[in-house]
Amino acid sequence: MSVRVGEAAEAPDFRQAAHALLANKQVRANVRRATETIRNKRANVVGEMPDWEQLRDAGRAIKRRVMRNLDSHLEQFEAACTRAGGQVHWARDADEGNRIVTQIIQSHGQKEIIKVKTMTSDETQLNPHLEANGIIPWETDLADLIIQLGHDKPSHIVVPALHKNKTEIRTLFMEKMGLKELGTKPEDLTAAARAYLRERFLRVKVGYSGANFAVAETGSVCVVESEGNGRMCVTLPEIMITMVGIEKIVPSFDDLEVFLQLLPRSATGERMNPYNSIWTGVTPGDGPKEFHVILLDNGRTKVLADEESRETLHCIRCAACLNVCPVYRQTGGHAYGSIYSGPIGAILTPQLQSMEHSQSLPYASSLCGACYDVCPVKINIPEILIHLRTRIVENGDRGAAERIGMRMAAYTMSDAGRFSGAQKLVKIGAKPLESLGLPGWSASRDLPAIPKESFRDWWKKRQVEKNKA
């Protein structure tokens, strides 16, 4: 079995990637503007909800319920979807999922598909797989189209092209769409995308999507979107394929009443996103005649097995944690080397890969807690980051020097005599801390001089003087 999360296994570590990105002023300015815009919009529409905390608690409770009996919920989904005329497939990993998709497309003799934005297909790297098999995947979400045409990588979970500005997009569209003239406004660029995709929507016979939610009770699938490309892809083709992570199950149809409030407000700062499509199997006379669902594991059952970080699977991919993260704000998503960036990426990517790769990610956080505060399903991301750091240390994957240093420090810190002795060592000559060697610190920050007298020495002297008096 080979779990793959995009190209994360080959990505440079966070610090190296961040080094390059910090030098890119344009990208940093784009990221800052975009994240500030969404976080302000989110704050406004969350602020008008008197029951936001109750909704978060309900969202969390539903997800906990799902995870506790994930096996039976999946079987229930399969049965309901099948009853409604859908065909359910199971895929252990990315390759298996991709193979199933290809087989379905090829069995109908088709060479093209139209795709709704889905992170899961980026995770399995479906597009390169399809292309290698002679199938063209047309991305239809505007941002995904920008990424695809530019052979770029997504830098955000919800707005994957936020690192590009409109001038760059205009140049890209003119070149790739073969346009001699194109206006400069976002409206002009959007109109160009509409014209470019329209013909494909009406013609291509296979549609492909992920799912925001899959309802166990009814076998329904829900896709949340804004542009209408989702409705096009799930409605117009004759054959519809949906690949969904096994954690996206919700137990009952009515559970949507919670998530359809939490998700749009958290993701795009809207009261409701323009379109939601919910469908159940096949409906004669309306939409695709054939519907396939692929339930994808790709490392998720491994995440489920770790009780302390299981709630990583609660994520509904709203990306609110990215928009408030002060680290993401500086580097943008590409520093994370994964399609899942920001705080949630820092916990999800390494876990999906059984902690074999992306080990720098759990350290890519100051643990400021802003992510936990905005998470609509209350995933305690800082706590999980620390837990993953512990797993890395337990596996002996940190350097020996750090381990020995930490053990010595703990030994020192569990005894006042030893601690006080260490203090004395530190302040010999009362040099600045720099002399102790704190690599990286001093490039931008002066260190305080070490005081001549520690607090405990002062206190001792004071007590002696008091006793004399």
Partner 1 sequence: MLISLFVACYNDTLFPDTGKAVVTVLERLGHTVEFREAQTCCGQMHYNTGYRPEAIAVMKHFVETFRDAQIICVPSSSCVSMMREHYPKMAKDAGLETEIEELLPRVYEFSELLVDKFGITDVGASYPHTVTMHTSCHSIRSLHIGDKPERLLKAVQGLNLVKLPAADQCCGFGGTFAIKNAEVSSAMLDEKIKAITSTGASICTAGDNSCLMHIGGGLSRQDTGVTCIHLAEILAAREVSVQ
Partner 2 sequence: MSAKTDILKNIRQALGDDRGAELPVNRDYRASLGLDREAMVHLFIDRLVDYNATVYRTDAAGIAGTVADALRSRGKSGLVVPPGIDPSWLPQGYRFTADHDLDYDTLDAAEGALTASTAAIAFTGSIILTHSLAEGRRAISLIPDYHLCVVFESEIRGTVPEAIRSLASRRTCPITTIAGPSATADIEMMRVKGVHGPRTLDVIIVG
Chain positions contacting partner 1, by CB under 8 A: 14-15, 18-19, 22, 326-327, 330-331, 362-370, 372-373, 383, 386, 388-394, 398, 403, 406-407, 409-416, 419, 423, 426-427, 433, 438-441, 443-448, 450-451, 453-456, 458-460
Q: Which does 236 bind (CB under 5 to 8 A by kind): partner 1, partner 2, none?
A: partner 2
For residue 267, give both structure tokens: 């993701």
Q: Which does 77 bind (CB under 5 to 8 A by kind): partner 2, partner 1, none?
A: none
**Contact call for residues 447 and 453 (beta carbons, < 8 A):** no
Q: Which does 363 bind (CB under 5 to 8 A by kind): partner 2, partner 1, none?
A: partner 1
Q: Sketch the per residue contact string, 392 through 421, with partner 2: x for CB under 8 A, - otherwise.
A: ------------------------------
For residue 467, give both structure tokens: 């006793």
Of the candidate residues 9, 87, 152, 253, the single one contacting partner 2 (CB under 8 A)? 253
Of the candidate residues 220, 309, 331, 380, the single one contacting partner 2 (CB under 8 A)? 220
DSSP state letters, 142-160:
HHHHHHHHTT----SSSST
Residues linked to residue 286 through DSSP beta bridges, in sequence order: 283
Q: Which does 131 bind (CB under 5 to 8 A by kind): partner 2, partner 1, none?
A: none
Q: How many CA atoms lie within 13 A of 378 on its CB side?
A: 13
Q: Can residue 153 be called a binding residue for partner 2 (CB under 8 A)?
A: no
Rounded Cα distance between 243 and 355, Å, is 24
**Contact call for residues 196 and 172 (beta carbons, < 8 A):** no
Residue 117, Cβ neighbours under 10 Å: how many?
A: 28
Which of 329, 321, 341 minimizes the C-alpha distance to 266?
321
Residues linked to residue 291 through DSSP beta bridges, in sequence order: 86, 240
Residues linked to residue 290 through DSSP beta bridges, in sequence order: 239
Nearer to partner 1, 198 or 424 (CB): 424
Q: Can residue 242 be called a binding residue for partner 2 (CB under 8 A)?
A: no
Rounded Cα distance between 103 and 105, Å, is 5
Nearer to partner 2, 200 or 398 (CB): 200
Q: Residue 278 in 3-state DSSP?
A: strand
Q: Which does 391 bind (CB under 5 to 8 A by kind): partner 2, partner 1, none?
A: partner 1
Residue 96, Cβ neighbours under 10 Å: how many?
A: 18
Rounded Cα distance between 389 and 162, Å, is 30
φ, ψ of residue 145 in degrees (nearest 5): -65, -40
**Contact call for residues 331 and 349 (beta carbons, < 8 A):** no
Q: Which does 218 bind (CB under 5 to 8 A by kind): partner 2, partner 1, none?
A: partner 2
List, in sequence order, every beta strand (DSSP E) within 147-289. 206-209, 213-215, 220-225, 239-245, 249-250, 275-280
Q: Sketch the per residue contact string, 277 through 316, with partner 2: x for CB under 8 A, - otherwise.
A: xxxxx-x-xxx-------x-x---xx-xx-----------
Residues linked to residue 284 through DSSP beta bridges, in sequence order: none
Q: Which does 389 bind (CB under 5 to 8 A by kind): partner 1, partner 2, none?
A: partner 1
Q: Which does 64 bind (CB under 5 to 8 A by kind): partner 2, partner 1, none?
A: partner 2
Q: Which does 392 bind (CB under 5 to 8 A by kind): partner 2, partner 1, none?
A: partner 1
Nearer to partner 2, 22 or 61 (CB): 61
Q: Can residue 27 be called a binding residue for partner 2 (CB under 8 A)?
A: no
Q: Can residue 207 be called a binding residue for partner 2 (CB under 8 A)?
A: no
Q: Can residue 186 be called a binding residue for partner 2 (CB under 8 A)?
A: yes
**Contact call for residues 113 and 105 (beta carbons, < 8 A):** yes
For residue 39, give both structure tokens: 């976080």
Q: Min. distance of Cβ 367 from partner 1 in angstroms?
A: 6
List, in sequence order, every beta strand (DSSP E) within 191-262. 206-209, 213-215, 220-225, 239-245, 249-250
Rounded Cα distance between 393 and 214, Å, is 37
Of the candidate residues 122, 139, 227, 311, the single one contacting partner 2 (CB under 8 A)? 227
Q: Can residue 268 be called a binding residue for partner 2 (CB under 8 A)?
A: yes
Q: Can residue 58 be called a binding residue for partner 2 (CB under 8 A)?
A: yes
Q: Which does 151 bind (CB under 5 to 8 A by kind): partner 2, partner 1, none?
A: none
Q: Can residue 150 be called a binding residue for partner 2 (CB under 8 A)?
A: no
Where do we find the tokens 């800082």?
382
Nearer to partner 2, 63 or 129 (CB): 63
Stretch that binds partner 2, among 17-25, 122-130, 214-222, 386-394 (CB under 8 A): 214-222
Nearer to partner 2, 228 or 369 (CB): 228
Q: Min. distance of Cβ 155 from partner 1 in angstroms?
A: 16
SS3 content of the chain, % helix, strand, coil (to 5): 55, 10, 35
The DSSP letter of residue 177 is T
Q: Which does 71 bind (CB under 5 to 8 A by kind): partner 1, partner 2, none?
A: partner 2
For residue 278, give both structure tokens: 């919910």
In the chain, what is the straight-line distance between the N-terminal and C-terminal CA atoms, in Å?
77
Stretch that binds partner 2, among 89-97, 128-136, 206-214, 332-340 (CB under 8 A): 89-97
Of the candidate residues 7, 24, 28, 61, the single one contacting partner 2 (CB under 8 A)? 61
Q: Can residue 247 be called a binding residue for partner 2 (CB under 8 A)?
A: no
